[in-house]
A and B are shown apart, each in its own frame.
Chain A
């Protein structure tokens, strides 16, 4: 995080983006669609990683930030008939407002209490979605109609349901968030966040207002997760309460732990790994979750810091 090897770090990230770009033309249809979905969910994981990996705040309620974006964008299109960019912006705004309010309340606690408080708020959010089922579709969810998922620029228009457009939009969002993360964690603000994770008391005694810094991190994390949710609604056309359930608060934690907390590319690796293990094993047996569980245990045993985290520890000290 000091000034060691910025060229290598940027090279690696541009390389990863370029690889994902090339894959768009090589992958068969099924995996093409799957990877687009993984990239959008990796954005969710990156937002989670921002708070969990760098600031050390373990939230069990991030499903609410993802669904704030998902429903913010989805409802804007379905109920209000807004255009795609306006709906995306609405999703982001929902993420900002929600994360600001939740941050102000939940950051009064820390440790286990923070986990429980965030989880409770997420449950409240989930139940609100079910309660207002006449607008939200309840547990059935809603489908964003295909004609609404078109990005119009004057005369030309981009159909987000087209696989290539969808893939490239997902890649665009992913690349943007990846580069923002990289710049952020290498910045002075990133250094302060890590300092808070390592020793909050000491950071205060260096003159930092740790509450404000943490609140900013919650909001950044909330915006990124909401961006992922909004993109999911607009690209894949489904808005469902399942995404607000506790499962979707735990999944980003798993993805980040697998890929490596506090690594910039770890969230993508973790999401990718998890999806492919499930995809491959479910082809052989209906007890695929058992195999996923074994894979997770092996990973924790041999790569306790996640795939990239352990690689950084052992071989690649420069990895951001």
Chain B
């Protein structure tokens, strides 16, 4: 099986800081991959490079067998890489409906019928449990619902690779349970790359875990292997005195 996403020697410098330092990363189709690591480890920078929001200083990104390193972000989105923002970035003044209609109307192939947009929007809102709030301005939704709206927008793009950047941040425990179910459903049709701090969520969802530290991949493996990994424990907890 060919990998869905590969990066080779991917680096990004911010001034003197190497936020991402020659990362070689491989993601197989259908996986749920969690990316964890201490604050400032370069996780968000790494997925921003993959989604095209920022350009790499060096290295290359291959998506589905094609080099996408030089492509602008919107072209990558069209090829199936969807990114949901860490800091909630919905269109606050537009209704939840319009927020989701934007990705839906772009992915529609027939392009004309009004009913198709409506059906697509309501399907995405239904899956995230926001259907009864369709006509509320997104800015008036609770924080948890705005996070879900982000996911609905990502879903509506019909991505092959869905990048979720700290999706459970600020969610209540009850919302997190629903969220785990939702990600499992999404993973039936798409590959999921999940940056997450909440360890119970990571352990329940991830097929494999990649640990970042200081811009490099520190370890990679199944949840059990990562839990037992001494280097990971050291990165998170510090060296024993």
Chain A residues packing against B (C-beta within 8 Å): 1-4, 188, 191-192, 194-195, 198-199, 201-210
Contacts and interface: CB of A to CB of B under 8 A. Distances in A.
Given A202-B89, A202-B91, A205-B83, A191 B106 contact: no
22 contacts: A2-B98, A2-B101, A2-B135, A3-B118, A4-B135, A194-B94, A194-B98, A195-B102, A198-B91, A199-B89, A202-B85, A202-B90, A203-B102, A204-B72, A204-B73, A205-B53, A205-B74, A206-B106, A207-B77, A208-B106, A209-B74, A210-B74
A4 B157 CA distance: 24
B191 interface: no
B98 A205 contact: no
A5 to B, nearest CB: 12
B157 A207 contact: yes
Given A202-B85, A207-B78, 13 more contacts: A2-B97, A4-B135, A188-B101, A191-B102, A191-B105, A198-B91, A199-B91, A201-B89, A205-B82, A206-B153, A207-B107, A207-B157, A210-B74
B93 interface: yes
Contact of B73 (A194, A195, A198, A205): A205
Interface in B170-224: none
Contacts of B77: 204-207
Contacts of A207: 74, 77-78, 103, 106-107, 157
Given A198-B92, A198-B93, A198-B94, A204 B102 contact: no
Contact of A191 (B89, B98, B153): B98
Contacts of B98: 1-2, 191, 194
A1 B91 CA distance: 14
Contacts of A201: 53, 89
B95 interface: yes
B153 to A, nearest CB: 7
Contacts of B153: 206
Contact of A206 (B53, B72, B157): B157
B146 interface: no
Contacts of B107: 207
Given A207-B78, A209-B74, A188 B94 contact: no
Contacts of B114: 3
Nearest to A209: B74
Contacts of B45: none
Contacts of A203: 102
A207 B52 CA distance: 11
B101 A191 contact: yes
Interface string B128-158: 0000000100000000000000000100010
- The majority secondary structure among interface residues of chain B is helix
B91 A192 contact: no
Contacts of B103: 206-207
A306 to B, nearest CB: 16
A166 to B, nearest CB: 39
A222 B85 CA distance: 35
Most buried by A among B91, B114, B117, B157: B91
A205 B51 contact: yes
B95 A2 contact: yes
Contacts of B85: 202, 205
Contacts of A209: 72, 74
Contacts of A204: 72-74, 77
Q: Interface centre among A194, A201, A206, by most B CB within 10 Å? A: A206
Contacts of A208: 74, 102, 106
B91 A188 contact: no
B102 A206 contact: yes
Nearest to A205: B83
B112 to A, nearest CB: 10
A157 B78 CA distance: 54
Interface in B33-61: 51, 53
A4 B173 CA distance: 35
B134 to A, nearest CB: 8
Contacts of A202: 85, 89-91
Interface in B70-128: 72-74, 77-78, 82-83, 85, 89-95, 97-98, 101-103, 105-107, 114, 117-118
A188 B83 contact: no
Nearest to B93: A198
A209 B75 CA distance: 8
A206 B157 CA distance: 7
A195 B102 CA distance: 8
A188 B111 CA distance: 10
A154 B99 CA distance: 53
A60 B85 CA distance: 34
A191 B78 CA distance: 18
A194 B105 CA distance: 14
Nearest to A192: B102
Contacts of B93: 198
A208 B95 CA distance: 19
Contacts of B157: 206-207
Contacts of B90: 202
